[in-house]
Chains A and B, each alone.
Chain A
Amino acid sequence: MRVIIIGAGKLGYSIAELLSQEEYDIVVIDKEEGQLENIKENLDVLTMAANGSSPITMDNPDVQGADILIAVTGSDEVNMVCCILAKKHGITHTVARIRDMQFMSEAKDYLKANFDIDLMLNPEYITSMEINRILMVPAALNVEDFAEGRVRLFETKVRRNSPLAGTPLKNLDIPKSILAAMIFRDHRMIIPHGDDCLLSHDNAYFVGEAGAIANFSKNLVRSDARKISRAVIIGAGRAGRFTARILDKQGVQVKIFDMNRERCRLIAGTLSSHSMAIHGDGTNIDLLQSEGISDADIMICMTDDDKLNLLLALMGRHLGAAKTIVTVNRYDYIDLMEKVGVDIVLSSRFLAASEVLAFVRRGGIVSVSLLEGAKAEAIEVVVQPGAKVAGKKLMDAALPRECLVCGYVRDEEAFVPNGNSVLNPGDRAIIIVQMKHSKNVLKYFQKD
């Protein structure tokens, strides 16, 4: 399958990197030769220095007739033009990055219909929604929803005195509709079996029916941990503003800091009366203390600078914030940051790339979530008729060891499978699999 990526910026790079690992044919186009240097050297892709929004480029044999066009340049308008041109030149699917929040919220369907854009990417929007989702479940480090919310994946850190630690899984008191899907320990992904134990400092992933997960997560929550009521956000860029608005609407008291007065004013105009925008430097300890950082339930660091975000989160931790979230651009640091003490690290590029990946994969794949810095994936896939796994008992289907089927949805109902369960065509299966085996594993669920 051939994929064209227009725009060799950071997001373009991330997408190219992810897709090239999947062994697709990728062409990266950018106006500037310099931007392509990096990609040429590090990635196994074809690069072209050309203007992506020009019909001449579209006529190029390498580009014409491709399967997917992903337009991720810095300008929304250029992206939209690329998509129109693409469709007119026979490219079947288009993805465009649209940064403008207003387009996303108000003109979504119009754009889809008239500009022929199949998937609209807004990394800031995605990041904010992700943060929102995580925050609304108190004990979680990560939460993913599948099958329109019927099945939920829930990641939590096993604490030292947690009731889950130290006991073998088969003896743990976990409800029937929940499965311990994966353990992430010492940078390795472990698919647990009945004898494995959860140890402290593990990141444990549980998958199951949404309601059961909700109850389960509540029990894991410490008795004094409460729902988020006070949030501090540092950085009022697009993502920061959007996150502030979402949280504010749900009744959280938000304090958002930024050094730029205009940005403060922009966000101040949309907040309700229990939240406020503060004009000041987030690295100023006095300012943070006088504004009550020690009473904050969550501190979200969303400035443009990754290093600054890390510093702010650590400082916030030190001053007494209960939980810290950091957004980064480069996802190489995610591991390191989590080790150093940041609770949750999100990369907007990463999240955007996952959406693209899921889209590209298609063939019955409904959604993909990348876990643990792209080492593992949770995939929701529709079982095709004639697939290797259809109609057989799971233990007979000879699925590779590196994957686990954690749940499936049949006729609008969610089930947790065991070795004897049978998957029928049309069921939606949620599997967790290591990244490098994903393509292999997917073959089992798709037509031969």
Chain B
Amino acid sequence: MVLAEDARFCLRIRTLLLAIILFGSTARADSVALILGGIPGSPEHEEKFDRWTTTTRGLLVDTFGFAPADVTVLTNREARADDIRAAFDAIGQRVGPADTLFVFFIGHGSYDSGEYKFLISGPDMTGADYSELVAAVGAGRSVIINATNSSGAILDTLAGPNRVVVTATRSGSERNDTYFYDYFLEALGTETSDEDKNERISVWEAFRYATLAVERFFTEQMRLASEHPQLSDNGGEKGGVEPEETPVLARMIDFNVDTVIQTDDPVLAGLLEKRRQLEAQIGALRLVEDTMPAEEYDRRLEELLIELALTGRQIRGREGP
């Protein structure tokens, strides 16, 4: 059966809505990360890639609550093809369908004859190789951040269901050194990027912050933009900060490791559940915004938000000072 484009879109939306509504009731999920540092090639790049790698690990552990053991770093000579495969295998032993895998590519990419390669010590691996490795891990959700030049060429290969793929460039032909990851790290380190004020940084928020900063950088420098960061959400079409489809998965996945709020107070538990459901309804309403008049949308949104705000007050009152 071939679904019409609209029908497929609706199916995706329904699937995602279900994910949003169910997500809150799942057990605590773990997040694991693999940071791959490619060969630098020059002292300047070595300094930059080291800084990016160290900062990434520091943010994951110190800011987002990753257990140190859940962050694997392979750089330069430690990041040969065999080492990388072994690292993916090891991670695969530890994670399950409820967990989220983050993979960071920091280094140089190459794009030749239609094929992207991440440059490592020894024989390089292709996008297809990495896609297989990510799939083999078996995490419920995967986030792949590729900060290299030409990284756009790997996007289609890596994109797929339950994956968010972020690349610094739109295509393999954007070969210049990239600035994207500097701003991506800035996003992970500032609450300014926390668009929804939930004190968590989602993949979408970090991507949006960094992409706008890259655009602003090239505009202010009066230079032709040599990179156009892209994101593919749950196998959907890649795009920038104004995607055609709402990037639900990227909005949903935070860098912050999940924490479970536990309470013995049944009233408070009920309020927390009510809040969760209201948030889910607001999320669902946003997804169907285009299907109703703006005034009707605002009216329904306002009702839900007022209810949410009042519930929040009750929760705070119940929790005490």
Are A and B genuine complex partners?
no
